[in-house]
Amino acid sequence: MTTPAQGLKTSMQENLGKVVFGIEDIVHHLCTAMIARGHVLLEGVPGLGKTLLAKTLAAHLGGKFKRIQCTADLMPSDITGIHVFHSEKNEFVFMPGPLFADIVLVDEINRTGPKTQSALLQAMEEAAVTIDRDTYTLPENFFVIASQNPHEFEGTYPLPESQLDRFLLRLEISYPREEMEKHVLRTYDHPGGGHDTYRTALEVLPENLIQQARQQVDTVFVSEATYQYVTDIAKVSRSHPQVSLGLSTRGALGLMRCARIEAALQGQEFVTPDHIKTMAIPVMAHRLVLTPDATLEGISDTEIVESILGQVSVPRE
C-alpha cells in the first residue's frame, strides 16, 4: 500500500522527470524539504537546469513561480516589495515583490551582497515579510530554491552563517552522465527547449497530498535513544578540532525532521540511525564553518560530517 509521503514522492519524480532528466536524488530531497516546510540551496555550475527544475516544480504544484536574478546592485526592496503612492486613492499601496509566490528561485544568491541576502531571513524562517512596520504573510507552501555558484567564481559573496542555517538542505547538482546528457540534447534541441515543454507536460499535484504526507510523518515513532544520537552528533560537531562553528540547534532539529521524513518515504514507522546518517550530509555540511587550517588543507565539509558520524556511537535500539 502506498502511503501519502510515498505518493507525493512518486508524483514529483514522475512529473518532474518528464522535463528534467537524471536528478532522481535531487527530487527525492526536494520532496523531503517540501514536507518539512524547509528551503533548499542548490550548488553547481551554471547551465545544469536549476531554473527549469524550479519552474517545473511550481507547475506541478499548481502554484505561482517567481525568479529573482541576484546581482551586486540588487536591493532588499527589489525582492520584498515597496509601498507606492496611489494618487486616486490618496494613500500608499503595497506592491508585493517576487517573494510573494509559492516557489521562488533565488538565482545565483551569492552574487548579491549580504544586505540583500539578509532580506530573505524572515521570509524563510517565518513565511512572512515585514515592510514599513506592516507584516505580510507569504503563501502556505512558500518554498525557496536558491542556486549558488562555486565560491571560486569571480564576483561572488559567501553566504553568512545565519543565512546558510536557514536552508534545510544543500544539494549539489553535478554534470549528467553521458547517456543522460545525450537524452537532453535529443529532447531539447529546438528553440525554447524545456522552458516551453514544462507547461503542458505535467499533471497538477493532487489537492491536500502534501498535507496528508505531513500528517503521516507526524506519526513516525522516534525513540529516546535516537534523540540522544542526534544530540550527540550536534555535541561532537561543536568540539571537533577542525570546526570553528558546529551544528546549531536549528540544524539538529532539521536533521531530526528530515530523518523522520526519510523513514516515512521508505514506508517505515520508526526512525533508525541509518535514516539519520542518510540525511546528515545534506542537512549538516553547509552549516559547519571549518577552521582556517582545515580550509587550507583542502578538507571538505562533507568529509568533516563523515568524521563526526564516525566519532558518535550508534544506539543499539
The predicted-structure confidence for 262-309, as pLDDT tens digits, reads as follows: 999 999 999 999 999 999 999 999 999 999 999 899 899 999 999 999
Place of cell 539578509: 118
Give me the CATH topology for the region 4-185.
Answer: Rossmann fold (3.40.50)
pLDDT computed for residue 210 by the predictor = 92
pLDDT computed for residue 317 by the predictor = 62
Span 129-165, pLDDT tens digits:
888 788 889 988 899 999 887 655 666 777 888 888 9
Within 13 Å, how many C-alpha atoms sit on residue 232's CB side?
17
Place of cell 503542458: 200
Residue 299: other Cβ atoms inside 10 A: 15
Measured distance CA(304)–CA(116) in Å, rounded? 30
pLDDT in tens, the chain (317 residues): 789 999 999 999 998 888 888 888 999 999 999 999 999 999 888 888 888 888 888 888 888 889 999 888 888 888 998 888 877 778 888 888 899 999 999 988 888 888 888 888 888 888 888 887 888 899 888 999 998 876 556 667 778 888 889 999 999 888 888 988 998 888 888 766 655 655 566 788 887 899 999 999 999 999 999 999 999 999 999 999 999 999 999 999 999 999 999 999 999 999 999 999 999 999 999 999 999 999 899 899 999 999 999 999 998 76
The class that CATH gives domain 219-311 is mainly alpha
C-alpha cell at 181: 546528457
Contact call for residues 99 and 64 (beta carbons, < 8 A)? no
Contact call for residues 43 and 174 (beta carbons, < 8 A)? no
Cα 10 to the center of its chain, rounded Å? 19
pLDDT computed for residue 199 by the predictor = 59
Residue type, 160: P
Instruction: Domain ranges for the chain, please list them.
Output: 4-185, 219-311
Closest to 33 in 3D by CA, of 262, 218, 252: 262
Instruction: Give the long-range contacts of residues 177-184, CB within 8 A, separation 24 or more.
Output: 177/22, 180/21, 180/22, 183/21, 183/22, 184/21
pLDDT computed for residue 188 by the predictor = 82
> What's the per-residue H, E or C state across 45-63?
CCCCCHHHHHHHHHHHHCC
